[in-house]
Structure 1
Amino acid sequence: MLSIYHFDTPLSDNCLITEQYLQKISQQIHRSHHLFFVPLINEPILQMIKDDNSTCADEPTDKASLVYRLTLDFKAAQIEGNKKARALLINLQEALTIGHQKYSRNLVINIAKKVGINITDFLYNRNSKETIQAILEDQQLAHGMMPKIQATVAIDDAVDLKTQILTDFSVNDLLPAFLPHISDDDASEKSAEASVNLA
């Protein structure tokens, strides 16, 4: 089993591009694998969550709270599956960073409907203690896998018992890390087209 983790900062254009790339490249992996997105929360917000298991307003007023709100939305969607959760996060990121839309409850609900999420369950889950606990567990995973908390791709190979940690990269830098897990035909095609399609 191959586990691919993208520890990301949700309001970063570069992280959005990386997520889109990982979605594409993971479709070419010939082995059994899972792709996980793990939004990173800054230390003050993380400490606040640990202290009182607090959620935040539906319409946060600062960047740190917005990242936490996005993370709550993502983890709530993940209860219905990783694929829907990734689609929700990417669509939200595109709306906020590319479309320059303002974050709002209505925006989230519209995107959740678009990606096929059960809205009643989603609205309950996005503020539940279970969702908050799942966020804390993700942050613990990030601290356990990375010496420094930053945008990172980790490729955990259960067969070789190795974890490859990639930081400070462009999407083209990621291709060599995935070539061993892609079929020969796909690898040749990806290598030839990477700089054109994914730059």
Structure 2
Amino acid sequence: MLEVYLFVNPLGEQCVRDEQNVLRLANDSDKQIQFQFVPLLNINIIQKAMQRQGLKATDWQAQNHQSQQLYRIILDYKAALFQGKKRGRNFLIAMQDALLKAGQRYSEDLVTAVAERCKIDLDMFMEDRNSDLAKQAFHADQRLASEMNITAASSAVVFDCDHYDYGVLLEHFNYATLFDLVNGQLDPFDELAQHTNCANLDGTQLHVL
């Protein structure tokens, strides 16, 4: 069995493409794959989100607003996940469609509309998104990212639970490289990878963890 952790910026357009690649991989591969979209929140994520909106990095008020908005979106996502992984993923993707593709502004009305569209129990969701449990889940994600040395979004960590005790970190990856790795057509554990801990393939950075 394979486990894939994709670390994402909820407002990152590249992350949306990577999420679609992971979903596509789960359909295309014959392997049993469990995957999670893990939200990241750090200064790099905040600044990139500001750049996308044409905001200056020195605008501290805007930076604080961006940080709070990302935090709220992540808590919403964690609350949706409490009602099932599929509903949680659908909620995240629907929010990204609304915010990035449709250009809507984050608001309580938007959150409610997206939750209803994803068939989420609203009463439970509204309670969970402000709960200590959602905040604990957020902090657990950030600890996981730290343990895996993740600093940037669009990073994926793949574990082959049946053969290896360690995983592979992919940065700047494409679908072809991810597919080859998962299906055994690419071996990151060869002598080169173990000595350099990094191999460049079509722009992809591979690190053995």
TM range (shorter): 0.7 to 0.9
Structure with the greater relative contact order (CA < 8 A, sep ≥ 6): 1 or 2?
Answer: 1
Structure 2 stretches lacking a partner, 5+ long: 46-62, 186-209
The alpha carbon displacement at 1:178 in A equals 2.8
The CA distance in 2 between the partners of 1:44 and 1:15, in whole Å, is 14
Instruction: Say if 2:98 and 2:104, in contact at 8 Å, map to a contact too.
Output: yes
**Higher-helix-fraction structure:** 1
Aligned partner of 2:34 in structure 1 is 34
Instruction: Say if 1:17 and 1:171, in contact at 8 Å, map to a contact too.
Output: no
The CA distance in 2 between the partners of 1:139 and 1:43, in whole Å, is 13
The CA distance in 1 between the partners of 2:2 and 2:44, in whole Å, is 33
Instruction: Say if 1:40 and 1:139, in contact at 8 Å, map to a contact too.
Output: yes
- Counting only pairs closer than 5 Å after superposition, residues 20-169 of structure 1 correspond to structure 2 as 20-42=20-42, 62-146=65-149, 148-160=151-163, 161-169=165-173
Aligned pair count? 167
The alpha carbon displacement at 1:34 in A equals 1.4
The alignment partner of 2:130 has SS state of coil
The CA distance in 2 between the partners of 1:168 and 1:12, in whole Å, is 13
Structure 1 stretches lacking a partner, 5+ long: 46-59, 182-199
How big is each residue's C-alpha offset from its partner over 1:68-100, in whole Å with a ceiling of 9 and x where there is no partner? 111001100111111111110011011111111
How big is each residue's C-alpha offset from its partner over 1:165-191, in whole Å with a ceiling of 9 and x where there is no partner? 10022344433223339xxxxxxxxxx
Give aligned-pair identity as a percent. 31
Q: RMSD between aligned alpha carbons?
A: 2.3
The CA distance in 1 between the partners of 2:7 and 2:145, in whole Å, is 7
